[in-house]
């Protein structure tokens, strides 16, 4: 399972990077989203994949012993998903406004911020 997820993570990164290299603004945002998913999947995989070992402290014990599924990466992923959700929502709104203002989807035509003034 780890092997499959590793390849999946790699593919997501590759796809994300490929989309980001395109000149289209929309594809840039899609690429950023894929990179975020890849990072989440990486977190999930690296936390260790275990089945049937919930992190419960056994009767009469004071701390966790033996093998158990680590809940922390999942908490991290949940947080990262929530944050990514907010960021992506804003990014989508931004590209829409940029598209309305500049009338183009091509990143190469967005050079005003690098102009001579300011």
Partner 1 sequence: MNDPSARKEEDIMKASDGAAAAAHAPVAGKARATSLVLSTAATYLLPLLLFLSVYALARGHNLPGGGFIGGIIAASAFSLFAITHDAEAAHRALRLHPRLYIVIGLFLAGGAGLAPMVAGKPFLTALWADAPFLFIQEPNTPLIFDTGVYLVVIGGVMTIFISLMED
Partner 2 sequence: MMPVPMIIIAPILIPFFTALACLAAWGRRRVQRRICILGAGVLCLAGGQLFITVWRQGVVTLRLGNWPAPYGIILAADTLGASLAAVAAVIGLAAIVSATYGMDRRRETEGFYAIAQVMLMGACGAFLTGDIFNLYVWFEVLLIASFVLLSLGGGKAQLEGTVKYVALNMVASAIFLAAVGLFYGVVGTLNLADAAVKVAEVNAPALMGAIGLMFLLAFGIKAAIFPLYFWLPAAYPTPSFPVSALFGGLLTKVGLYAMIRTHGLLFIPHADFWGPLLLTLAGLTMIAGMMGALSQRGFGRIISFNLVGHMGYMLMGLGLFSPMGLAGAIYYMAADMIDIATLFLIGGAVALATGNAGGDTRRMGGLWERRPFLAALFIAPAMSLSGLPPMAGFWGKLGLLRAALADRHYWIATAALAAAFLTLLSMARLWEAVFWKPPPSERHGGPERGPERRPEQRPEQRPDQNIPFVRGYAPILVLAGLSLLLGLLAEPAFQVARSAAENIIDPAAYIRAALGEAP
Work out whether 38 is an interface residue with partner 2 (CB under 8 A). Answer: yes
Give yes or no for residue 86 binding partner 2 (CB under 8 A).
yes
Nearer to partner 1, 9 or 77 (CB): 77
Whole-number Å distance between alpha carbons of 97 and 57:
52
Distance CA 90, CA 84 (A): 10
Tell me how far, at minimum, the Cβ of 93 lies from partner 1, in Å: 6
Enter the tokens of residue 21. 């290299």
Is the Cβ–Cβ distance between 25 and 107 less than 8 Å? yes
**Cβ-based neighbours of 75, under 8 Å, separated by 6 or more:** none
Give contact residues for partner 2 (rule: CB under 8 A): 20, 25, 28, 32, 35-36, 38-40, 42-43, 46-48, 72-73, 76, 79-80, 83, 86-87, 90-91, 94-95, 97-98, 101-102, 107, 110-118
């Amino acid at each position: 399972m780890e092997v499959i997820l590793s390849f999946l993570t790699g593919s997501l990164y590759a796809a994300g990077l490929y989309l980001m290299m395109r000149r289209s603004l929309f594809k840039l945002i899609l690429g950023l989203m894929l990179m975020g998913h890849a990072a989440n999947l990486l977190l999930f995989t690296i936390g260790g994949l275990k089945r049937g070992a919930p992190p419960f402290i056994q009767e009469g014990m004071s701390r966790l012993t033996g093998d158990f599924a680590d809940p922390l990466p999942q908490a991290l992923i949940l947080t990262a998903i929530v944050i990514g959700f907010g960021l992506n929502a804003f990014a989508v709104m931004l590209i829409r406004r940029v598209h309305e203002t500049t009338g183009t989807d091509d990143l190469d035509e967005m050079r005003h911020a690098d102009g001579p003034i300011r």
